[in-house]
Amino acid sequence: MSTKQILLSGFGGQGILFAGKMLAYKGMMEDKNVSWLPSYGPEMRGGTASCSVIVSDEAVGSPIVSNPDVLVAMNLPSLDRFEDSVVPGGMIFYDSSLVERPVKRSDVVAYPIPATKLAGENGFSTLANMILVGKILQALGEFDEEKVLNTLNKVIPPKRAEMIEANMKAMKLGAEL
Q: What is the binding site for another protein (CB under 8 A)?
A: 21, 24-25, 28, 33-38, 40-41, 59-64, 66
Q: List Cβ<8 Å contacts ≥24 apart for 99-104.
A: 99/73, 99/75, 100/76, 101/76, 103/79
15: left (phi over 0), alpha (psi -120 to 50) or beta: left
Q: Which is nearer to another protein, 60 or 177 (CB)?
A: 60
Q: How far is the CB of 1 from another protein (least distance, A)?
A: 10
- Minimum Å gap between C-beta 53 and another protein is 9
Minimum distance between the CB of residue 52 and another protein, rounded to whole angstroms? 8
For CA atoms 111, 172, 31, 34, give the dihedral sign.
Answer: positive
Return the exposure string of 109-124: e unless at least 16 CB atoms fall within 10 Å of the residue's CB, then b: ebbebbbbbbbeeeeb
Q: How near is the Cβ of 36 to another protein at its closest, in Å?
A: 4
CB closer to another protein out of 3 and 97: 3
Please identify, using beta-carbon distances, which residue of 25 and 93 lies nearer to another protein. Answer: 25
Based on CB atoms, which residue is closest to another protein, 96 or 151? Answer: 151
Looking at the Cβ atoms of 100 and 157, the one nearer to another protein is: 157
CB of 55 to another protein, least distance (A): 11
C-alpha–C-alpha distance, residues 32 and 89, integer Å? 23
Residue 77: C-alpha distances to residues 22, 38, 59, 68, 84 (Å)? 23, 17, 32, 17, 13
Is 96 in a helix, a strand, or coil?
coil
